[in-house]
Every structure is written in structure tokens, then in C-alpha cells.
Amino acid sequence: MTTILLTGFEPFGGASANASWDAVRHVAHHWDAEREGARLVPAELPCTFAAVGPALADLVARHQPDLLVATGVATGRRRVSLERVGLNLVDARIPDNEGRQPIDEPVDPDGPPARFTSLPVKAALVAARDAGLPVELSTSAGTFVCNAALYLGVGLAEASGGRMRAGFVHVPATPADGPGPSLPVDATARCLTVILRACVAVEHDLAVPGGTLA
């Protein structure tokens, strides 16, 4: 049976909750492994540059997932975003949960400039849109801990020799987070569930247009 490691982040920046972890817990609560043909392992990641990489590596070593789908909140976005690329760049607008605020530093000094998701993001996008869900592709995961998790997670997938695929999904804030664009937790969870199903079902991504002109 396929094993999915689905992660969300702990609260950061003075918030009392994180929409990504709320959505992950919601997905896990309603997930039926027999029905879905996949075992789901939910996990909460630390929102610190120093700890996120070791945490991901430990989770992957313990659970040996076939799919690593990390999630994080992107305040200001209206749709769930399938991230395509992680940059080897840290440029923190705010401190992380350890008070560190690196500026213009690499995620990994020995790594390549960028790493691309190995999840079938276009297939997931088509599945979500067919279901009438607010999902989009994104080419910017930011330069905070979410981007680091994407970059390092794909690095773990590359090191697995193709045994594991990895990527990242940004989710909007929830209405409880205050004014601004938002999506209720249950709606975000529906999006994630459809994305996970597509990732389980599709090995090679679709060759369909998904880019932007700017």
C-alpha cells in the first residue's frame, strides 16, 4: 500500500494556529486507507530553518513514504497552490520560531540553485478543477521556511533514487485568521484530498498547459 507523509507547520509569527496543520488534521481525520488505497501519516513540522530539514529527514527515515506532500499557509492567497519549484534561497521577512532571520543565504550551501517538485502537479490541478475546487499552480513558494521545506523535501526524494516523490502545497489562511483572503478548513481539506488522490493515481504527470505569461 502506498504511504503518504502529509505535513503541516506549527503556528509562527505570533499566530495561535496554522491553517496548514489544521487542514492536515482534517484530512487525516476523514481519510480511509482502505478506500483510498494509501496509508496517510500526518505530521507537524517546526517553523525554523535549523529544524525543518532534520525533522523531514527523520520522518522520511521512520515512515519510508512513497509520497511526501508538505503544506504551509500563504496569507493573501485565495486558492490552494501546487508549488512547482523550491529555490536555494532564504530571505526571511520575519524571524522564524527560533528568532533567526537569515537574509540572502542558501538553504543548502552545497545544493543546486533550485529543485523541482516530483509530484504530478498538473494532473492534480486538472482533478481539482474538474471537481470545481479553487486550486492553482505556483512558481513561487516564497523564501521563508515553506520554501526550505520544499527544497529539502525534494532533495530527500532525489536521494531516494526515485523511490519517493515530493512536493509542496500552499493553502490560504482561514476566516478565523482575520481579514483578507481565506478558505475554510474543510474546503482546504477537500482540495488536499483530491490532490493526494491524484498523486497516488498518477505516476507520470500530464503534458498540458499550466504556465503563465507573467
Antiparallel, parallel or unpaired: β 90-91 and 38-45: unpaired
Domain ranges in the chain are: 2-201
Told to judge if 199 belongs to the known catalytic residues of this protein, a careful annotator would answer no
Give 68-83 pLDDT, tens digit per residue.
999 999 999 999 999 9
- Catalytic choice (47, 146, 191, 199): 146
Q: Is the pLDDT of residue 51 over 90?
A: yes
Q: Is the pLDDT of residue 214 over 90?
A: no
Q: Which three cell numbers stand for residue 94?
A: 520575519
Distance CA 46, CA 198 (A): 27
Give 83-130 pLDDT, tens digit per residue.
999 999 999 999 999 999 999 999 999 999 999 999 999 999 999 999
pLDDT band for position 213 (50/70/90)? confident
Q: What is the CATH number of domain 2-201?
A: 3.40.630.20
Within a 10 A sphere around the Cβ of 85, how many other Cβ atoms?
19
Q: Which three cell numbers stand for residue 149?
A: 521545506
Q: Is the pLDDT of residue 154 over 90?
A: yes
Distance CA 111, CA 88 (A): 7
pLDDT band for position 22 (50/70/90)? very high
Distance CA 106, CA 89 (A): 4
Q: What is the pLDDT of residue 212?
A: 82
Asked whether the beta carbons of 196 and 27 are under 8 A apart, the reply is yes
